[in-house]
Amino acid sequence: MKLSQNYIKLVLGLKLKQLRLEKNLSLTHLAEKSGLSISYLNEIESGKKYPKSDKIAIIAQTLDVSYDKLVSLKLSKQLAPIGDLFESNILDQLPLDHYGIDIRKFIALMSNASIQLSALVATILEMAKSYEMSENNFSRTALRAYKEFNENYFEELENAVDAFAAVNKIDAFPPLQYNELAKILTEKYFYEIDETTLNTYSELAHFRGFVKSGDVKTLFLNNKISDSQKAFIVAKELAYNHLNYKDRSYTHSNLRLDNFDHLLNNFRASYFATALIMRKKGIVTDLQTFFALPKWDGNYLISLIEKYNASPEMLFQRISNLSPKFLGLNKFFFLRFNAKANNNTYHLSKEVRLNIRRNPGGFQSQEHYCRRWISVKVLNKLIDAQINDPQYKSIVSGILHSKFFNSNDEFLSISVAKRSQFVPDEYYSVTIGSLLDEEAKQRIAFWNDEAIPFQTVNDTCEMCKIHDCKERTAPPTAIEKLEYAQKVEAILLKLNQAQ
């Protein structure tokens, strides 16, 4: 639902209801006085209908207000935060309808709220502006919750992949090559594929792909991306067509998407593409073999990337999809970090967590992430190797048995880092970390491999009190402020009790 198209209806409904209640009139009484039906007035109040001018004049006269006041978009002080909510487009970004919440009922609930709740809404909006919580961040948070509610596994998409593969006679044995998928896209869906034009624009150097819609769709591909990345993008386009997703973005990049439906359909198309390239039956068998190994073997993990003509992120996403249902690992987090050479900063770009109390390394923060995390360690290892040998192009893997400071939570985290194909000096790592409880110990045979390093970790340097940390890059300012505030509160409580 696009709030911009219904804003006037909703505002009129809110104002009508507020004016009616101010006059102590029920819908029945207003109907009797105005000569309009109860159902018609109810539809106006709920924002479903906008009456014609003659009906508005009758309602205004009945409520003893001017026509202009009734149709004005200016809301009362109590309802003003709701208007701000409309104008912020936050409700347009929150996927209330996907969770079975009727936006009109939500607005009706807000209109009945107390002044205190209205003040809370206004405060949240101000916080959103102060902390630059963009509309896109709301959508991404909602999408993360959507994936977590479904345990990151979507049977209907798995079935759609099997049906698509059967119809198009796609062999289940890997690897699935770009050319094979491109042939289906061009011959069945009548796309043209252009691998040269995009690279003539320096401003589009970071674009992996772009689709020009029209009678004949053209898929522009960046010729610097790998065969596996091309295969993934084409597989996503096949997904959009096969699943008949009309509400979508036409860019294949990390740019913001316009709304939640774009983000959701992008996720579904990506899930379909990854499942098509790494078919469930084969990859589940390979992953079962991997987790049954008595010793940690990072090379086996890397061999799967090569076997399926996949990227590290695609493999780790597939592990996160299939682990809860087929591997018995349903308490984990997934992270993707980006970094640049000689920068010493790390950007969290993707995260999923499932059935764990904390979110280790999964909070987007302006503070300094713990340099002991395996996500950061493999990035640094790869960057150092690249600096020492510019021709070094290998994928780096790593594993860490970690325990969080001041917590009993232990994780076994596996990470892989790779250099970007087309962004100079940019690197990324993907990590999946399983909560190391008794169930995980039964499922991961190599969890107690003596070669796996153990280290105490924390969230950020600013929130960390590990005194002997050699990896620290910032003082523990945030935790010291928190501890000071707690001491003050304890003293004040003691003084109060003494009286």
pLDDT in tens, 209-249: 999 988 889 999 998 898 999 999 999 999 999 999 998 88
Structure tokens at 155: 């049977």
The answer to whether residue 88 scores a pLDDT higher than 80 is no
- Given a cut of 90, whether residue 120 has pLDDT beyond it is no
What is the residue-averaged pLDDT of the chain? 85
Q: Predicted confidence band at 261 (pLDDT cuts at 50, 70, 90)?
A: confident
Going by pLDDT thresholds of 50, 70 and 90, the confidence category of residue 353 is: confident
Which of the pair, 89 or 395, is modelled with greater confidence? 395
E strands of 144-239, at which residues? 192-194, 209-212, 218-221
As a whole number, mean pLDDT of residues 126-137 equals: 50
E strand residue ranges, 315-460:
332-340, 346-354, 396-404, 410-419, 426-435, 454-457
Percent helix, strand, coil in the chain (nearest 5)? 50, 15, 35
Model confidence at 157, pLDDT cuts 50, 70, 90, reads very high
Q: Does the global pTM surpass 0.85?
A: no
Which segment of 28-42, 136-150, 186-200, 271-285 scores lowest on mean pLDDT?
136-150
Longest dimension (CA), the chain: 85
**Residues 48, 94: contact at Cβ < 8 Å?**
no
Average pLDDT over residues 435-444: 95
Q: How confident is residue 266, by pLDDT bands cut at 50, 70 and 90?
A: very high
110: Cβ contacts below 8 Å, ≥ 6 apart: 82, 85, 117, 121
The per-residue pLDDT for 300 is 96
Which letter does DSSP use for residue 127 in this model? H
Q: How many residues does the chain have?
A: 499
Question: Which has the minimum average pLDDT: 233-247, 285-299, 382-396, 478-492?
Answer: 382-396
Q: What is the pLDDT of residue 358?
A: 67
Q: How far apart are CA 332 and CA 318, in angstroms?
A: 13
Query: Rg (Cα) of the chain, in Å, rounded?
Result: 28
Decide if pLDDT at 203 tops 90.
no
The C-alpha atoms of residue 479 and residue 30 are separated, in whole angstroms, by 59
Predicted confidence band of residue 432 (pLDDT cuts 50, 70, 90): very high
pLDDT at position 278: 97
Asked whether the bond before 175 is cis by omega within 30 degrees of 0, the reply is: yes
Sign of the dihedral through C-alpha 299, 300, 305, 311: negative
- Model confidence at 191: pLDDT above 70: yes
d(CA 83, CA 358): 35
The pLDDT confidence band at residue 63, using thresholds 50, 70 and 90, is very high
Predicted local confidence at residue 135, as pLDDT: 47
Asked whether the beta carbons of 433 and 409 are under 8 A apart, the reply is no
Q: Report, as an integer, the average pLDDT of 378-403.
A: 89
**What does the alpha-carbon distance between residue 340 and residue 330 come to, in Å, rounded to a whole number?**
32
Question: 3-class DSSP state for residue 238?
Answer: helix
Cα 63 from Cα 18, distance rounded (Å): 11
What is the predicted pLDDT for the residue at 134? 47
pLDDT value, residue 133: 45
How many CB atoms sit inside 10 A of residue 109's CB? 12
